[in-house]
């Protein structure tokens, strides 16, 4: 899909199975891009759902901007993207800082969110959060080059690394991204988080430093379920099939399909009577 012009930014968007009956929007983490889902997890979900992926501002093929990386601005972008795509309500999944964007979306615009999935959402009050994000972004790059480059892997990999390093340098040195993230330190203590009523899945790696963050969210969000899977903070890269299956199970496509089928039979019987 093309880059979509929103009121304040241009965002690069990709869709899989655009005719799907239900929609899931997936938000990547800081210093990454939509490719973290595109090659494995998104195709699994696209068997059943319309899957919408986008590069956050300053990332991937989206517009490079200097400010607006706080959660309020990020959720404004997401809401405006939903409006532009004609999506009234969607399931929402977010990884790492993208998980915090998803949580913020549920607190600000609860009517736009159906089920909520948070993958390795870090507690922004923890001093090591930025270090964790730096670490996973490097692993993401290495994994991308090793697994998704073509026969010109060496040259493509070098170009990809150089492109992403330029993106990191821009984000680190020319934007408000770090100060905006540091400004969210009290987010987990926001009463609005504890007031989230959406059915929520929390996926964390068993060896991740963010597991305490998952336990904190599980204790504060009434309808939350914490699931630990093999891996660390990089679980979407390390265990895409495991994460994809957990999301499929959470979204309960098969149960919903059977319900609609059985309901259709009952409606037909009632109508004939």
**Residue range 124-157, pLDDT digits in tens:** 988 666 565 555 455 555 554 455 444 334 444 5
In a domain, 245, yes or no: yes
In a domain, 242, yes or no: yes
What gap in Å lies between CA 42 and CA 13, rounded to an integer?
A: 13
Q: Is the pLDDT of residue 109 over 50?
A: yes
What is residue 153's predicted lDDT score, i.e. its pLDDT? 41
Mean pLDDT of 79-101: 97
What is residue 164's predicted lDDT score, i.e. its pLDDT? 66
Binning pLDDT at 50, 70 and 90, where does residue 253 land? Answer: low
In a domain, 273, yes or no: no
CATH of residue 40's domain is 3.40.50.1820
What is residue 138's predicted lDDT score, i.e. its pLDDT? 55
Mean pLDDT of 231-250: 94
Binning pLDDT at 50, 70 and 90, where does residue 178 land? Answer: confident
Binning pLDDT at 50, 70 and 90, where does residue 168 land? Answer: confident
Mean pLDDT of 28-47: 93
The answer for residues whose C-beta is within 8 angstroms of residue 250's C-beta and 6 or more apart is 115, 117, 199, 201
Structurally, the chain folds into a number of domains equal to 1
Q: How many other C-beta atoms lie within 10 A of the C-beta of residue 142?
A: 12
Q: Which domain holds residue 166?
A: 3-263
In a domain, 220, yes or no: yes
What is residue 78's predicted lDDT score, i.e. its pLDDT? 98
Give me the percent of the chain exceeding a pLDDT of 70: 78
Phi-psi bin for 86: left (phi > 0), alpha (psi -120 to 50), beta?
A: left
What is residue 143's predicted lDDT score, i.e. its pLDDT? 54
Beta bridge partners of 203: 119, 227
Closest CA to 41 of 245, 228, 253: 245
Closest CA to 26 of 79, 99, 104: 99
User: Residue 8 has which token pair?
Assistant: 């304040």
What is residue 171's predicted lDDT score, i.e. its pLDDT? 84
Phi-psi bin for 69: left (phi > 0), alpha (psi -120 to 50), beta?
A: alpha
Mean pLDDT of 224-234: 95
In a domain, 95, yes or no: yes
In a domain, 84, yes or no: yes
In a domain, 252, yes or no: yes
In a domain, 269, yes or no: no
For residues 98 and 47, the answer to whether their CB atoms sit within 8 Å is no
């Amino acid at each position: 899909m093309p880059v979509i012009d929103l009121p304040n930014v241009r965002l690069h968007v990709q869709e899989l199975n655009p005719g799907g009956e239900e929609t899931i929007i997936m938000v990547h983490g800081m210093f990454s891009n939509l490719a973290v889902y595109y090659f494995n997890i998104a195709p699994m979900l696209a068997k059943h759902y319309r899957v919408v992926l986008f590069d956050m501002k300053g990332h991937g093929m989206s517009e490079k901007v200097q400010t607006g990386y706080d959660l309020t601005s990020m959720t404004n972008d997401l809401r405006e993207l939903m409006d532009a795509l004609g999506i009234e309500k969607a399931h929402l999944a977010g990884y790492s800082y993208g998980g915090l964007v998803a949580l913020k979306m549920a607190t600000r615009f609860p009517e736009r969110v159906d089920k909520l999935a948070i993958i390795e959402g870090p507690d922004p009050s923890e001093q090591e959060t930025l270090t964790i994000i730096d670490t996973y972004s490097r692993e993401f790059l290495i994994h991308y080059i090793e697994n998704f480059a073509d026969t010109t892997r060496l040259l493509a990999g070098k170009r990809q690394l150089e492109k992403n390093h330029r993106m990191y340098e821009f984000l680190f040195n020319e934007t408000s991204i770090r100060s905006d993230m540091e400004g969210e330190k009290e987010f987990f203590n926001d009463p609005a988080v504890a007031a989230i009523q959406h059915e929520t899945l929390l996926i964390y790696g068993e060896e991740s430093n963010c597991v305490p963050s998952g336990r904190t969210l599980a204790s504060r969000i009434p309808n939350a379920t914490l699931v630990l899977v093999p891996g660390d903070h990089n679980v979407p890269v390390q265990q895409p099939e495991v994460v994809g299956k957990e999301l499929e199970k959470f979204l309960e496509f098969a149960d919903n399909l059977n319900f609609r089928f059985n309901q259709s039979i009952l409606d037909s019987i009632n109508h004939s009577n």
